[in-house]
Structure 1
Amino acid sequence: MTETICVGIDVAKASLEIALSTQGIVMTFPNTPEGHDQLASILANYEIDLVVLEATGGYEMPVACVLQARGLAVAIVNPRQARDFAKAMGYLAKTDKIDAQMLAQLALVLSQQTDRDKIIRVLPSAQQQVLQAMITRRRQLVTLSVSERQRLGSCHPEIRESITLMISFIQEQLKVIKSALSNHIKAYYRPKLDLLSTVKGVGPATIATLIADVPELGQLTRREISALVGVAPFNRDSGFFRGKRTIFGGRAMVRRMLYMATLTAIRFNPVLCAFYKRLTEAGKPNKVAIVACMRKLLVILNAMIKTNKPWDESFHTV
């Protein structure tokens, strides 16, 4: 007879610590394809309700994909939220084994939630993982380019040529990655590309980021997509105190790209331009108005993907 249990996995570069919610034993597996297969084979002996891992900068993705491919429900949680849960449960010490046990208990709690489907999302496909890798590499190259240009302004004459050559090399690599990125999106995400390209202010970089980092676009409500990206204001009230509404959390890289797109949109997109003007004329601070425009732009893009309809100014008037 099988037993319904939840699993917590603490992921490191070289190893995986596995804890079951019904047992105090913690098992260790290598974080390799062979180790992933061994883990999946052992878990096949149980009726697994939910597997929870922390996001660890990519080390968790291979094992998560293997387990999901074997039919298991997998949730990747924010490390800060996991640690907050651990403190609330009295886990003050922190080791790999303790983290695995804590994640198993977190999985048990999450599995009992009525809205658990919100935390269990389909992991990236092979094509989407390639797209995410390209997006990450583009960001890295842009950061390197900015750093080298800053050094060029205050460098010793003897190393100016070296920095100039490095900048040229980075620019060439940027051209290569941008071309590969464009070809990949056209090959695998053409419908989304065609829809999002109809919006003034939304360029190739923004479209690529949205497709790669917000696969939920078009599947959530306006409130859910705003909270996911981190542009929804949250209350800070207690008793008679009414705090300022602020945004926090969400997907920082997406929010940064959305911010840049919004700065363009409030200049050249008639709908966003009018919306921004109305807010500022009503006395809203500049930053508040921009965030509101970011949220409106995101909601519009979400609706376009959901309805499979291109930009129509008459549908999005202020």
Structure 2
Amino acid sequence: MIAACATETRVVHAPPDPRLAAFAMHLTVIEQITQDIVCFKTRCETCRDPRLRQIWQDRILQFKAVLKAEFAILVQAIRQHADLARRLDLIESVNGVGLRTAVAILVRMPEIGRVSREHIASLAGLAPFDDDSAERVGARHIRDGRARVRSSLFAAALAASFRWNAKLIALYRRLTAAGKPHKVALVACARKMLIFVNTVVQRGTPWVEQQPA
């Protein structure tokens, strides 16, 4: 039965890259440190005691130093591998994708550049799903997917769709002009950004900025 199923398989994907597992664990620690900094900032904002506020501010500085050092170590470890370094550079070449987001995509989406645009959007939880029933047509919405990489894409798309990427700026303006809410337009920009990244990795050529028509 196994042999019969194997003969019917149209596409055979390579096994997961074992190198990325260790990088993913390190990236999770970095993300946790980032969350800790946010918590300390919240404490500062709500603390009325100057002495305690100074404690939280000191912790923020300490954690920021650790965060910077750990991220540098992670990037250096990735760049020890020529193929991963090349893929990281391709991802970062897309306007609006910073190094932090590029690392998240590289580490948490090993399928990047190897699957279709629809598949990669679905893996990130950025593909729209319908909510139809009989004659009722419900609103489309996103669901499931890899929450950590999706959060990184949201943050990158927010800046890119206002400043860094001409195509995403045009897309955001077109959607909002058509009456789409900000969040819906931002999801579309995050999905399009991931598709851009998937395309440049598939082609093996860096992103080239082109003004939208």
TM-score where L is the length of structure 1: 0.59
What is the deviation of 1:169? Answer: 2.1
Matched, 1:297 2:190: no
Corresponding residue for residue 29 of structure 2? 137
Q: 2:141 aligns with which of 236, 246, 250?
A: 246
Q: Please state whether the residue corresponding to 1:138 is helix, strand or coil.
A: helix
Corresponding residue for residue 177 of structure 2? 281
Residues in 2 aligned to 1:230 and 1:222: alpha-carbon distance in whole angstroms: 12
Task: Say which one has the larger Rg.
Answer: 1
1:22-77 C-alpha deviation (Å, 9 max, x unpaired): xxxxxxxxxxxxxxxxxxxxxxxxxxx5xxxxxxxxxxxxxxxxxxxxxxxxxxxx
Corresponding residue for residue 187 of structure 1? 80
Structure 2: gaps of 5 or more residues: none
Residues in 1 aligned to 2:208 and 2:38: alpha-carbon distance in whole angstroms: 37
Corresponding residue for residue 170 of structure 1? 63
TM-score where L is the length of structure 2: 0.86
Q: 1:309 aligns with which of 183, 188, 205?
A: 205
Greater helix fraction, Structure 1 or Structure 2? 2
| Gap change, CA 1:317 and 1:151, over 3 Å in 2 | same
Corresponding residue for residue 57 of structure 1? none
State the 4+ residue runs in structure 1 displaced beyond 4 angstroms: 114-118
Greater strand fraction, Structure 1 or Structure 2? 1
Q: 1:261 aligns with which of 122, 135, 156?
A: 156
Matched, 1:153 2:49: no
Root-mean-square deviation (CA, aligned residues, Å) is 2.4
Which has the bigger relative contact order, CA under 8 A and spacing at least 6?
2
User: Percent of aligned positions with the same letter in both sequences?
Assistant: 33
Residues in 2 aligned to 1:264 and 1:158: alpha-carbon distance in whole angstroms: 36
What is the deviation of 1:245? Answer: 0.8
Q: Which amino acid aligns with 2:148?
A: M
Q: 1:225 aligns with which of 106, 120, 139?
A: 120
Aligned residues, how many?
A: 206
Alignment of 1:21-170 (within 5 A): 122-125=15-18, 127-155=19-47, 156-170=49-63
